[in-house]
Amino acid sequence: MRYLGFALIALLLVGRPALAQESPPADALLLEVSGAIGPAVSDFIERGIARAASDGHRAVIVKMDTPGGLDTSMRVIIKAILASPVPVIVYVAPSGARAASAGTYILYASHFAAMAPATNLGAATPVPIGPGMAPPGGDEGEPSKKKDDEEGEGEEPVSPQKAMGRKVVNDAVAYIRGLAELRGRNADWAEEAVRKGSSLSAAEALEKNVIDAMAEDIDDLLSKLDGRKITIRDAELTLATEGWTIEIVEPDWRSRLLAVITNPNVAYILMLLGIYGLFFELYNPGALVPGIVGAISLVLALYAFHVLPVNYAGVALILIGVALIVTELFLPSFGVIGIGGVAAFIIGSIILMDTDVEGFAVSMPLVVTVGMAAAALFSATVLLAVRQRKRPVVSGREEMIGAAAEALGAFSDFGQVRAHGEIWSARTSEPVARGQHLRIKNIDGLVLEVEPEREEK
Would you say residue 362 has pLDDT above 90? Answer: no
Q: 157 pLDDT exceeds 70?
A: no
Query: Is the pLDDT higher at 231 or at 76?
Result: 76
Greatest Cα pair distance in the chain: 121
pLDDT in tens, 285-329: 777 888 888 889 988 888 888 878 788 888 888 888 888 877 776
Confidence band (pLDDT; 50, 70, 90) for 363?
confident
| Average pLDDT score, the chain | 80
Query: What pLDDT was estimated at residue 359?
Result: 67
pLDDT digits (tens, 9 = 90+) for 407-454: 888 888 888 888 877 888 888 888 888 888 888 888 887 888 888 887
Q: What is the CATH number of domain 2-123+198-254?
A: 3.90.226.10
CA separation for the pair 426, 423 (Å, rounded): 9
pLDDT attached to residue 139:
41
271-292 mean pLDDT: 82
pLDDT for position 4: 45
Average pLDDT over residues 327-351: 76
pLDDT of residue 64: 95
- Tell me: pLDDT of 366 over 60: yes
Q: Determine the Cα–Cα distance for residues 353 and 370; give it in Å rounded to an integer.
A: 16
Residue 140: pLDDT above 50? no
Q: Residue range 357-373: average pLDDT? A: 78
Confidence of residue 43 (pLDDT cuts 50, 70, 90): very high
Question: How confident is the model at residue 336, as a pLDDT?
Answer: 72
420: left (phi over 0), alpha (psi -120 to 50) or beta: left
Average pLDDT over residues 11-38: 70
- 397-452 falls under which CATH superfamily? Nucleic acid-binding proteins (2.40.50.140)
Q: Which is more confidently placed, 122 or 367?
A: 122
Give the residue-averaged pLDDT of 159-186.
86
Is the confidence at residue 388, as pLDDT, over 70? Answer: no
**pLDDT score of 405:** 87
Q: What pLDDT was estimated at residue 161?
A: 63
User: So where are the chain's domains?
Assistant: 2-123+198-254, 258-390, 397-452
Confidence of residue 99 (pLDDT cuts 50, 70, 90): very high
pLDDT of 65 over the 70 cut: yes
Query: Do 65 and 97 form a contact (C-beta atoms < 8 A)?
Result: yes
Say if residue 20's pLDDT is above 50.
no
Residue bearing the bigger pLDDT, 129 or 240: 240
Q: Residues of the chain with pLDDT > 70: what percent?
A: 79
pLDDT (tens digit per residue) in 78-87 = 999 999 999 9
pLDDT at 436: 85
- pLDDT of residue 118 exceeding 90, the answer is yes
Which of 18-32, 73-87, 247-261, 404-418 bottoms out in mean pLDDT, i.e. has the lowest?
A: 18-32
What does the pLDDT read at residue 18? 41
Residues 87-103 as b or e (16 or more Cβ within 10 Å = b): bbbbbbbeeebbbbbbb
| Cα R_g (the chain), whole angstroms | 37
Task: Look up the pTM and report it.
Answer: 0.69
